[in-house]
Amino acid sequence: MAAGTDKFQRWSTGNRRNIPIGSRVYLVRLGREPKGIIASGWTASEVYPDKHWDRAKRDAGEEAYYVEW
C-alpha cells in the first residue's frame, strides 16, 4: 500500500502461491542503483492468477500470480 493511502496495489508473487492474508511483504529493488527495500506492507488477499504482466507472455496466453497488498 502506498504510504499515507488506503489504496491496495497488486504485485506479482513469482512462483509463490501460498502467501496467507496478513503476511508481511517487502518490495525489493535489485539490479541497478538505488537497490534495497523500497516498500513494505501486508497482504490483503489470497494469491490469485491473472493475465501476465509481461506483454509478450500475456499475448501468448500466459498467466502470472498476484497478491493485493
Residue 1 belongs to some domain of the structure: no
Give residue 5's pLDDT band: very low, low, confident or very high (50, 70, 90). low
Domain limits at 60?
10-68
Greater confidence (8 vs 6) lies with 8
Q: Is residue 5 part of a domain?
A: no
Instruction: Record the pTM.
Output: 0.77
The beta strand positions in 1-69, using DSSP E, are 10-12, 24-29, 36-42, 48-51, 63-68
| pLDDT computed for residue 4 by the predictor | 59
The answer to whether residue 2 is domain-embedded is no
How many domains does one find in the chain?
1
Q: pLDDT (tens digit, 9 = 90+) per residue, 13-66?
A: 999 999 999 999 998 999 999 999 988 999 999 999 999 999 999 999 999 999
Residue 61 domain flag: yes
pLDDT at residue number 1? 45
- Find out whether 51 and 65 touch, Cβ atoms under 8 Å: no
